[in-house]
Structure 1
Amino acid sequence: MTRRRALAGGALAASGLSSGCVETIERFFGGSSREQVSLEIVTVPADADARLTAIARTLVDRLEAVGIATDFLLTPTDQLRKKVLTNRDFDVYIGTMAADRDPDYLRTTFQSSYSNGVGWQNPFGFTDQGSDSLLDAQRYQSGQQRRETIQDALTAITGEQPIVPLLSDTAIAAVRRNRFEGWDRVRARDPLWLLALDPAPGRSPEGRLRMTAVEKILTERLNPLLPTFSEFDALTAYLYDPLGRYYDGQIRPWLAQSWSIDESAREIRLELHPDLTWHDGEALTAADVQFTYRFLNDTAMGTGETRHPAPRFRRQSSLVDAVDVLDDQTVRISVDAAPAVARTVLTAPLLPEHVWESRTDVVDESTGLTQAVTWDNPDPVGAGTLAFESRTVEESLVLTRNSDHPMNREGTALFERFGPLAFDSLRFRVVPSDLAGLSLLTDGDVDATVPKLGNDVISNVRNESAVDLVTSPSRTVYHVGFNARRRPLQNPGFRRAIARLFDKGDIVESTFDGHADPLTTPVTDAEWIPSSLAWNGSDPEVPFAGSGGEFDVERAKQYFEDAGFQYTNDGRLVY
């Protein structure tokens, strides 16, 4: 039954007929006049991610099997992100998101106070006072106490199932090793992946690194504040650097040369590297650091009716109370968090005041979007290891080495640890498919693919002697997202019943060919996951409604009945 027919049935039920008349109509039509439960299921088409499409088709089949009417919509990636992350116009979607290293990201992703924002600020409309309180508490804690609080929060969140975490996939790239080496040193979707490369023996660091990518948006939108960016945002991460980056096990100084944290005063005092410049030659000073955090906290800079924080970095900006300039190279940041969480403030990208101060116009008061978070930023100016050189929209993008960056200057700690950059320019070439990219790689026309290859092309790589696979765990969470603002998805029992329609272990093996790890929580690092939620061959919280890979329709129906729904004689699930 389609959504339109289901709604028509609901209109009949609401038309004011007496119970006797309704019973007569039900007997006449052999069914019920009560409204059938219906859902719109949306994901991307197979040419964007065939695995998401396959998961969604299985979900639709099983929803229909348990008596739920469905509309199945395939929409391009950018439109899906807008539908979910900006407009909040969805019932159920199947997609991906990034799980940050630090679990404080759960606060802005699931806390109820963020549900009216855009981007990854609680797009699910999820509300739960228990997890709200725990996510607030953990930001002031450290060590074992914080770990236990995070585990309690995860227990509360998974019990409610605002999303169904399915798995984290393996980051897969195909590379040639004849020009560059070190592809395995850093996780492939980490911003430092390419920065950790070295020239192959006998080669100088003056060559061009050539890569392929399938997503055209890489050549179109270079704004680091876009709220709908994907989890592998290598380009803006190379163009716009933060004060600190995560490497060697913790967040360490990057554009900052050093820092100290006063735990009692909740202050971070930091020194910038000397002689920092933006890509356009302007000096980068402590005033730019101060501007960045003020701007991230309100991209309208006081010109709007309310504050308009940058959604993508709301987590970091929400922790900052004040930024004081002590001199051109010294800054004091007052933070509302314990040191373990306070350091995450330093991972936001620095923005040049002379470029962004004019981007404060509010373009949509209802969503809180300003020009700063919506413009394409066609000629980006940052202070990253790479600078923008040129682009041809939908075809290519070229970045060049920033020779003034501390990583490329002898005598700095970053130069000793990473530098100099193994190439003098980086060119991304847009290709129509993974196979097209592999063909260029085989012919020696490129050096690597972006690490988002589908597992269906792995056999092609293994048949090429000059090409190697690079694989690493990822923090990309394949998941099912529910809009808990809408009926019947407001009901956690209903969401849990849907969660039981997924055989996560089978998805890993049959859809991802084993190149993934099943998830029970939206956090991927095991140290934060309570033992009661550890994967044990099945999901201990919402085990699959079936066994041996076979879906048990009657068992699944019982879960929906337990959630307060009923079935008609003809098998339709109704309110």
Structure 2
Amino acid sequence: MKFKKSWLLLLSFVLMLGILAACSGGDDAGTEPEGEGTETEQPAEGPQKGGTVVGAMDTPPSGQFNPIFYEEAYEANILSFIYEGLLSQDENLNFTPGLAKEWSFNDDQTELTFKLEENVKWQDGEPFTADDVVFTYKLLASPGYIEAGGIRSYFAGNLVGYEEYSTGASQDFQGVVKVDDYTVTFKFAQPNVKALSDASFSIIPEHIFKDISIADMPAAPESREAGKIVGTGPFKFTEMVQGEQYVLEKNADYWKGEPYLDSVVWKVVDQAVILGLLETGEIDFVADPNGFQAADYETVAAMPNVEIIEQPDFGYQIMGMMVNHRAAGDKTLDPSKWTVNEDLKDQKVRQAIAYAIDRQAIIDGLLYGRGIVQNSPIATQFDAYDDTNPPQYEYSADEAKKLLDEAGYKDVDGDGFRENPDGEEWVLSLNYPLGNQIRERSAPIVEEYLEAVGINIDLRQPKEAAAYFEDLENNAQDWDLYLVGWSLDSTDPDPTGLWDAPAAYNYSRWNNTEADALLKEANTPPEAFDKAYRNEKLSEWQVKFGEDLPALILYAANSLWAHNTRLHGVDVLPYSFLNDTHLWYVTEE
């Protein structure tokens, strides 16, 4: 699985899931570079060895480079070169071999056994084995993982013994079992419709992390410092200047074959100057998570040395509404401890907010039409996406005002802003991060739309991404509305990782028992093995989400990626530019 913010942030903030989320290239037998030690000169018209390419990001990674703890798409850009999962995906979102070369289910679909590749080494030369797979999933299920900041326990949640082990009731975890050095079995508590998705998480090395406690792992040098981060992928993370530049050098012993490129460098560049650097060749590509801006499409298209890739994004930008607040200092995700946000508790208020914002106008004005209005948080690329039944919330200031009146929010003192039903001042805070210029520009537009229907908005000063997401995770008690972008998990349409009540990414702290029950039905065999049944339940959930509305999807922009024509071997996936990077090569033109 490629790194997406497995339902993760990746936070395109963001953010996602996140996100996603794990990475590995597809199987490219017959197209691999020649092995180490081969001196045969490459033909001039074919792949060339050597060279460096430079990619641009508009926001610096926060600095967490451990797959089980990272939160952002910016971090995923780096992790995608370093770590891999047992499985990858192809252009049709079908699962393909990764670190596992084959797999099989038992008769009742409760066990999934993988045969691992036997020639894989970690980047420090140690062998990759089944022990690493067991170790990774044991961490995801460990007591203290969520308290340490982990947000991907759902990858292990369906495994045998998860509940007992994660709560400390048992010291023995039998969910993932080593059969031999190159065979591992995933054991599920019941037949699992998401078994392959659950088993696709990136694997981390046991020999590196086994002596580090789960509480200390997020801050450990092995999770944060270039030169100490070890994966199985085609490039090693060798040096960085935090917030400015991140250098990845080829892993000459990569199990799929030595990469053609010598290195890949990520530079953090303000969006305002990215295109100039792309045109001069100082950067070679701009892609995930934000690409280049739609306003600049014609400018980029006119560059003779640049190729554009445009496709529907595997994610979107939302305005979340904090229905509940997590208790200050609470590190658990227990909905029973949450407190209701009195300013947004009324469903009609949230629906009024949706009607008040002209999303198509934002798409036309800021995205130059290169995007869509989306009313469901399931990616449009999945056939489970329902674009018909959920509420559509077409722009109507009159409908917004009507709903606010019905909810008792009226302008009592004549100042143009509505008071709450008790006649008290009613102000909603709107929070957003720096980094994504379109999102930054959308914030005051959203403020204008909401104030036009009488909602007093406190538009907060934007924060640097790292500080913003720390506040968002802690669910600051005085936050009401927040802007964030999600890069979605490509492995399965199930939105549990984002919107189930105890999900770490459920920053709105939405707690709807009917919606949670529908998600459970959509994932409970044997009925859920019937795709039509599952899609029906997911459709019902999408309707419930749209009615209760813990977040409004502002827009789903088209992905606009670009690369210098000297860069070859680029074979994008529906959700990522970073695919089979060991096959990238450059020609000097």
TM category (shorter chain) comes to 0.5 to 0.7
Cα distance, 1:191 vs structure 2: 7.2
Matched residue SS, 1:510: helix
Alpha-carbon distance in structure 2 between the residues aligned to 1:99 and 1:574 = 36
Unmatched segments (≥5 aa) in structure 2: 34-41, 161-174, 325-340, 422-589
Matched, 1:499 2:499: no
The residue aligned with 1:376 is 224
- The TM-score normalised by the length of structure 2 is 0.55
Describe the SS at the equivalent of 1:257: strand
Aligned: 1:251 with 2:95: yes
**Aligned CA distance change for structure 1 residues 334 and 371 (closer, same or farther; 3 Å):** farther
How far, CA to CA, are the matches of 2:230 and 2:99 in structure 1? 15
Which amino acid counterpart does residue 98 of structure 2 have in structure 1?
W
Q: Are residue 353 (structure 1) and residue 206 (structure 2) matched?
A: yes
For residue 315 of structure 1, what is the amino acid of its counterpart? Y
1:464 aligned to 2:315?
A: no
The two structures, once aligned, show a CA RMSD in angstroms of 3.7
1:314 CA displacement:
2.0
User: Are residues 223 and 343 of structure 1, via their aligned partners in 2, closer, same or farther at CA, if it must alter by over 3 Å?
Assistant: same
**Could you say if the C-alpha distance between residues 216 and 272 of structure 1 is closer, same or farther in structure 2, counting changes exceeding 3 Å?**
same
Are the counterparts in 2 of residues 94 and 480 from structure 1 also a CA contact under 8 Å? no
Report the structure, 1 or 2, having the larger helix content: 1
Residues 444 and 213 from structure 1, CA distance in 2 versus in 1: closer, same or farther, beyond 3 angstroms?
closer
Asked whether the 8 Å contact 2:63–2:224 carries over to 1, the reply is: yes
For 2:105 and 2:149, locate their aligned partners in 1 and report how far apart those are by CA, in whole Å.
Answer: 25
Larger Rg: 1
Percent identity of equivalent pairs: 20
Matches within 5 A, 1:412-427: 421-427=259-265
- Equivalences for 1:98-497 in 2 at 5 Å? 98=16, 202-215=45-58, 217-218=60-61, 220-230=63-73, 233-249=76-92, 250-298=94-142, 308=147, 311-321=150-160, 322-336=175-189, 338-360=191-213, 362=215, 371=219, 376-378=224-226, 379-408=228-257, 421-431=259-269, 433-451=270-288, 452-485=291-324, 486-497=341-352
CA contact (8 A) 2:23 2:88 kept: no
Structure 1: 5+ residue stretches without partners: 1-80, 86-92, 106-119, 121-188, 364-368, 409-419, 535-539, 546-551
CA distance in 1, matches of 2:300, 2:188: 48
Secondary structure in structure 2 of the residue aligned to 1:324:
strand
Q: 1:252 Cα shift?
A: 1.8
Tell me the amino acid that sits aligned with residue 367 of structure 2: F
Q: TM-score with structure 1 length normalisation? A: 0.56
1: CA distance, partners of 2:210 / 2:222: 15
Specify the code of the residue in structure 2 equivalent to 1:438.
L
Structure 2 CA distance for aligned equivalents of residues 320 and 503 of structure 1: 44
Give the Cα separation in 2 of the matches to 1:494 and 1:521. 19
Distance 1:391 1:463 in 2: 33
8 Å contact kept, 2:109–2:192: no
TM-superposed deviation, 1:269: 0.7
In the alignment, the residues of structure 2 paired with residue 449 and residue 307 of structure 1 have an alpha-carbon distance, to the nearest angstrom, of: 33
How many Å apart are 1:307 and its aligned residue? 6.7
1-side partners of 2:75 and 2:310: how far apart? 15
| SS of residue paired to 2:224 | coil
Match for residue 500 of structure 2?
A: none
Distance 1:541 1:449, change over 3 A: closer
CA contact (8 A) 2:277 2:283 kept: yes
Q: Distance in 1 between matches of 2:106 and 2:409?
A: 55
Q: 1:561 is matched with which residue?
A: 405
What is aligned with 1:13?
Answer: none
Distance 1:520 1:374 in 2: 41
Residues 177 and 184 in structure 2, CA contact (< 8 A), matched pair in contact too: yes
Are 1:511 and 2:349 matched, yes or no? no
Q: Structure 2: how far apart are the matches of 1:200 and 1:457? A: 36
Letter in 1 for 2:420: V
Q: What are the Cα deviations for residues 532-571 of structure 1, in whole angstroms up to 9, with x where unaligned? A: 337xxxxx442221xxxxxx3x542211122343441514
Q: Residue 501 of structure 1 aligns to which amino acid in structure 2?
A: A
